[in-house]
Structure formats: structure tokens, C-alpha cells
Amino acid sequence: MAPGHILPVVNMVKLFASRGVKATIVTTPLNAPSIAKSIDRIPSTFPKIDLKILTFPSKEAGLAEGIENVHSVTDRETYIKLLKATSLFQRPLGEAMQELRPHALVADVFFPWATDVASKYGIPRLIFHGTSFFSMCVAESLAKHKPHKNVQSDTEQFIVPGLPDQINLTRLQLSDDTRLGMENDVTKLLTRAKEMEERSFGILVNSFYELEPAYADHYRDVVGNKAWTVGPVTFCGDRAPREDNQECLTWLNRKNPNSVVFCCFGTSTRLSDSQLYEIAMGLEASGQQFIWVVRREKKNGVEEKWLPEGYEERIEEKGLILRGWAPQVLILNHEAVGGFVTHCGWNSVLEGISAGVPMVAWPVFAEQFYNEKLITDLLGIGVGVGCQKWVALVGDFVRREKIEKAVKELMVGEKAEEMRKRAKALGEKASSAVEQGGSSYSDTSALIEELKNYRTLENASSHQM
């Protein structure tokens, strides 16, 4: 129930529709409009994608009306209530399964109870994690070996054991729950989700084999989970320019190739005024041209404390600030964009990779510190901004000097050119993976065949009985 999970699922549904599979998206009233708008734009040659809307149990969970998504959550208590609300979907989802009679149920990892619903109606349940093979392998190793308990301080590095490469982390880069060994509603949910993996049909991964082959193999062969690569599903997203895209696209059209840095922190990150001020100063000091997305609406007649005095006038030619929503995929794929400052959410990382753009890694929370390691240490397509600490939603505070240094390193010099070459090569592999004969195309074909065979075997078994 978060934009970063809903968007790739909707694109994944479009992927299945493109392969002739009939699909229904189960959602809630306030999440439905944006989904409906997206699926209305699919080609007429695809099977129609349906929406099944379930009433959201706000009252039963003690939630205020209008909160059906993490995007509306401002504190941990409300987040826990939202998780509780989703667990109340078990019965209505079961009724929907009885009505729709699907061949399979795909459900987010945060809905572990979906496995019981699928089992009751004799259909396979597939799990969507919304992240990379690499981060899932790191998380599995940390849970199994607990190497962070063997160091003397929060800043001392430890090696994550049992992985194909040497990966170093510190306790500060782990979630508070993991670092402190806390048991709460979230950890209980994730424990149950892990247990459900063993009872589920397998995992759908928004990645492609050529990006992280050692970790795709490790996850399947060592961790022991059945998994299919279906990505990057961003290629199934809507890429048509809209009227409200024109300002930034017109601005970019005036710039030289690979000359602009795009700075965006996703839908959930909430940066403080002081951090926004440091970003403004750091971007300006870097001397690079930039587009910067700030998730705040402009306040008419009210001074914006985070914005340095006279800033927008000073940067008029060099920089563009976009407030609120921005067409990230369109911007990343514009030839003028040569770098991406990102919070390392997996959707953004994969969109950057698919566009062939190197990155400044600025992890905030969730599994984003693991994704930073993939970008900087393993793929060599980015530099770290210097974040040291996992802090939910707001992140570690980063000074302007570090921002300036990282942006310059990304955009100027031989190292920048090497990173750009590697990023471009990965972008080409990403595109090839989803084309006919590509690794993700073939994995998707294999999954569809397995689901067909599962239904055939189930029918044969029931007839014998």
C-alpha cells in the first residue's frame, strides 16, 4: 500500500497483459483512480485489465478516513494501523477469489496472509518483493548469521557472510529493528512473510539476470527460493509526454547531451528544511546544470525557509526546480541527462539503470543502503554521497560540501566517463532483457507455462479423486 510498490505491480500487470494474460488488479477506493488512469492507456490489442475495488477497513483499524496508502502516513503509530488494516482484507479477498476464479494470485510481500487465501481456493500464490536479488540475499544473510552482533560499535564495519562478493556494512546502516534486535508489529509481519515464502509458488523479481547474475543464482540455489525475473517493468510504464511535462522537457531540449543532473528522492522520503537548503547550496556549488524535484507545493506569498534568498533567480539558466510530481522516467531517458541523484529506492535505481544513467547514491531507509552497495561497489555506476545512518523517511543529514563533491565526481572527469560507459552498457542489456528472446522475456514465458501446467495438473488430480 505504497506508491513504490503499487507502480511496479501495475506495470507488471501490463507486462502480463502484453503476453495475452487476462488480469484483475485488486485495490481500494483511494488507490484506484491513479491505477485506472494508467491501465486505460494500454494498447487495444491487450486483454482488458479489470479493477476489483475492496472497501478499505479504516474504521476497524482505527484509521482516519482518507488514509489508504503509506504516502498519507506521517508517524509510526499510523503506519502500524495501516498494516493492521491490510490484514483485515483476508475475507473480502477470499470472496473476490471465489468470484474471479483466477489461475494465480500475485500479492505483495507485506500481505503474508494472501498465501492462506490462495491455498484455500487451490491456486498458486506468487510473492512480489519490490526489490533486487542482491538486497534480498543481503537481508537473508543478516537474518541468518547476524554478523552485526559481532562488532563493538555502530560504526565498525562487518562483512555480510556467505555472499558471492565481500560486502561491508555498519550497524548504523541497518534498520533500527535489525540493529537493536527489536520485536514489534513490523518485525512480526516480516517474520510471517518469510515463513509464507516456503509455502508460496515462488517470487517475482523486478530485475534482469544480466544485472546481478551471481545474486539471482545465489537466491535460487543457496537461499533456495524459486524466482522469476520479469523486469525491468519500467519498460511497460506510460512514457507519453503530458501537458504538465512540457516545462521540464522544453528546458532539457536546450541542453547538451549528458550535461544535466537529475535530483529526486522518490515518493516517501521527507527531507527537512535544513537538508533541502544544503542540497540547494551543494547543487549550485557543483557548477553543474540540474533538475531538482522537491515534494512541496509553492506557497504563494509565503517565504520558503528551505530556499536560499534569490536562489531561483541565480540558477535560472543552470537549474530547474520542479515542485510535487515529476515525470521521472521521461527525464532520465532524455539525452541531456547525464547523472541521477537518488535515494536508492529500487524502482528509481532500476529506472536509472534502464536509462543508462550513472548515479549519486543517497540512501535513506528500507533496503536502500544495500542498493547503494550494488550501485557503487559491484556495478561501478555511481558514487556515494556519504550517508552513514539509516533514518526512517528523513535519512542521514548530508552537508553541502559532500553533495558538491559527489555531483562533480559523477559528472566531470575520467571516472565519470567510465561510470557513464558502464551505465549505458547496462541500459542496453536492460532493454534486451525484456525483448523477445531476452532473459526476462524467457523467464516470464516459463512462468506462464508453469501456471498453465499447474492448473492442468490440479484439474487432472481433482478428476482422479
- Whole-angstrom distance, CA of residue 76 vs CA of residue 73: 8
Residues 6+ apart with CB under 8 A from 280: 292, 306, 307, 308, 311
Tell me what pLDDT residue 464 has: 42
Distances in whole angstroms, Cα of residue 104 to Cα of each of 48, 53, 94, 122, 262: 17, 18, 13, 9, 39
Mean pLDDT taken over the chain? 92
One domain, residues 168 and 45: yes
Question: How far is the C-alpha of 73 from the C-alpha of 53, rounded, in Å?
Answer: 21
Pair (146, 284) in one structural domain? no
Catalytic residue among 5, 129, 148, 334: 5
Do residue 8 and residue 81 come from a single domain? yes
By residue range, what is the domain housing residue 260?
A: 243-430
Q: What is the pLDDT of residue 244?
A: 66
334 labelled catalytic = no
**Of 409, 430, 435, which is closest to residue 420 (Cα–Cα)?**
409
Looking at residue 99, its pLDDT comes to 94
- Which position among 71, 108, 148, 218 bears the catalytic label? 108
Q: Are residues 277 and 230 in the same domain?
A: no
Q: Are residues 293 and 217 in the same domain?
A: no
Residue type, 378: L
154 burial via Cβ count (<10 Å: 0-12, 13-18, 19+) = middle
b/e 397-428 (16+ beta carbons within 10 angstroms → b) = ebebebbbbbbbbbbeeeebeebbebbbebbe
> Taking Cα atoms as reference points, which of 62, 76, 128, 119 lies closest to residue 94?
119
Residues 198 and 283 reside in one and the same domain: no
pLDDT the model gives residue 299:
62
* Same structural domain, 260 and 391: yes
Q: From CA 342, how far away is CA 247, in angstroms rounded?
A: 22
The reported pLDDT for the residue numbered 220 is 97
- pTM (predicted TM-score): 0.94
Which residues in the chain show pLDDT less than 50? 460-465
The CA radius of gyration of the chain, in Å to the nearest whole number, is 22
Please write the tens of the pLDDT for every residue from 215-239. Answer: 999 999 999 999 999 999 999 987 7
CATH at residue 114: 3.40.50.2000
d(CA 79, CA 59): 15
Residues 6+ apart with CB under 8 A from 54: 26, 27, 28, 89, 92, 93, 96
Q: Which tens digit of pLDDT belongs to each residue from 164-207? A: 999 999 999 999 888 888 788 888 888 898 888 889 999 999 99
What cell numbers appear for 272 in the block? Answer: 527537512
Asked if residues 375 and 344 have their Cβ atoms less than 8 Å apart, the reply is yes
Is 189 in the same domain as 113?
Answer: yes
Verify that 193 and 293 share a domain, yes or no.
Answer: no
Q: What's the total number of domains in the chain?
A: 2
Q: What is the pLDDT of residues 51-68, one digit of tens each?
A: 999 999 988 989 988 899
pLDDT given at position 302: 55
Q: Note whether 414 and 387 are same-domain residues.
A: yes
On whether both 43 and 138 belong to a single domain, the answer is yes
Residues 453 and 399 in one domain: no
Peptide bond into 232 cis (omega under 30): yes
423 contacts 357 by C-beta, under 8 angstroms: yes
Residue 5 annotated in active site? yes
Could you tell me if 207 and 129 are in contact, meaning their C-beta atoms sit under 8 angstroms apart? no
